[in-house]
């Protein structure tokens, strides 16, 4: 009998789901919209209903399901299997997700923070090559991330480890982060951060730049525009991308000096700038990493794209994160 794992990657727009083989291969995947009305009270019920329907259609029974893993936004208690403060789902109060899944399915259920789950997916089946020590930086609207140590998610003393987006690497810039601090990585090295860098540096830039028109019509300025202008050789855009890469490389060096991972994975929408960005980040990371560590740390691009979440969620079922023990 073939055994499957169900991986769930819940986000503010949709919940992605998949049947995944224990070796990480996706058998089939689907998604449903996240219903954020009524304080998001239908979100979990809709996911459960969708899984039941899909299992029926595929003629799968619970005995075919090894377990269910789920990544969610918000502040997760992975032991109690609850989440609170997932504002993009309107989840302001404690959500007893583990209890709801246990009531519906008599199989093991695991819940983790979505950024950690994506990091676990990339570590296991993506750019991490299943190495034991891997860190992921997800460059999107903000900067998320996750730290994998010995193949398991690092939680820290109150479940908040891996807040790599809030490493204070740009204190001297005075640029404010949405968290209230000054100089966070997220404030200078995300989709919004790169626009902050343009705003900050354009004041003292005296040359020409093809960004000028976009800067006047501010709504058009985006990470994509800026990277494209840099690739075309626009001097100011190249300078901005260099600053962006410097901050990422400096943050990567802090992670390397502290954790000695074999790989630091760059993911998220902004990482689509690809090798052009990766090589610059690597150069700065090398510059600031202790010699015995830097030769052993690669900066690599994420490989799983949007599938990192469902694959990482499935991994929760085969690497028990709570007891720190490998099951498979």
Residues near a second copy (CB under 8 A): 75, 131-133, 147, 149-150, 154-164, 166-168, 171-172, 179-184, 250, 253-255, 257-262, 287-293, 296-297, 324
- Smaller CB separation from a second copy, 186 or 307: 186
- Smaller CB separation from a second copy, 164 or 273: 164
Neighbours of 325 (CB within 10 A): 9
Q: Sign (positive/negative) of CA torsion 257, 160, 79, 28?
A: negative
The least CB distance from residue 24 to a second copy, in Å, is 21
- Smaller CB separation from a second copy, 15 or 164: 164
Token pair of 235 as six digits: 């001097």
- Smaller CB separation from a second copy, 147 or 226: 147
Start-to-end CA distance of the chain, whole Å, equals: 18
Q: Sign (positive/negative) of CA torsion 169, 175, 179, 185?
A: negative
- Smaller CB separation from a second copy, 257 or 303: 257
The least CB distance from residue 249 to a second copy, in Å, is 10
Long-range contacts of 92-100 (CB under 8 A, 24+ apart): 92/39, 93/39, 95/40, 95/44, 97/44, 97/70, 97/72, 100/44, 100/45, 100/48
The least CB distance from residue 92 to a second copy, in Å, is 16
The least CB distance from residue 251 to a second copy, in Å, is 9
Please name every residue paired with 328 in a beta bridge, in sequence order, or none if there are none: none
The least CB distance from residue 264 to a second copy, in Å, is 11
């Amino acid at each position: 009998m073939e055994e499957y794992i169900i991986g769930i990657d819940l986000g503010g727009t949709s919940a992605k789901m998949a049947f995944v083989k224990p070796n990480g291969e996706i058998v089939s995947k689907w998604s449903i919209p996240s219903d954020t009305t009524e304080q998001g009270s239908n979100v979990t019920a809709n996911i459960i209903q969708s899984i039941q329907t899909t299992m029926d259609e595929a003629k799968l029974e619970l005995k075919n399901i090894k377990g269910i893993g789920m990544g969610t936004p918000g502040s997760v208690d992975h032991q109690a299997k609850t989440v609170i403060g997932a504002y993009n789902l309107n989840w302001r109060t404690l959500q007893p997700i583990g209890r709801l899944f246990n009531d519906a399915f008599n199989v093991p259920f695991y819940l983790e923070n979505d950024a950690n789950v994506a990091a676990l997916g990339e570590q296991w089946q993506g750019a991490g090559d299943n190495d034991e020590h891997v860190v992921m930086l997800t460059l999107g609207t903000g900067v998320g991330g996750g730290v994998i140590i010995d193949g398991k998610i690092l939680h820290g003393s109150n479940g908040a480890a891996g807040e790599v987006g809030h490493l204070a690497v740009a204190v001297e810039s005075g640029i404010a982060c949405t968290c209230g601090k000054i100089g966070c990585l997220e404030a200078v090295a995300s989709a919004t951060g790169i626009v902050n860098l343009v705003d900050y540096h354009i004041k003292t830039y005296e040359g020409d730049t093809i960004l000028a028109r976009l800067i006047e019509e501010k709504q058009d300025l985006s990470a994509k525009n800026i990277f494209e202008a840099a690739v075309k050789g626009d001097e100011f855009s190249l300078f901005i991308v260099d600053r962006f890469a410097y901050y990422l490389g400096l943050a990567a060096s802090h992670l390397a000096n502290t954790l000695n991972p074999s790989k630091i994975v760059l993911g998220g929408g902004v990482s689509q700038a690809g090798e052009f960005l990766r090589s610059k980040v690597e150069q700065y990371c090398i510059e600031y990493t202790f010699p015995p560590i830097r030769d052993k740390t690669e900066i690599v691009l994420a490989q799983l794209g949007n599938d990192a979440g469902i694959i990482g969620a499935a991994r929760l079922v085969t690497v028990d994160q709570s007891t720190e023990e490998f099951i498979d």
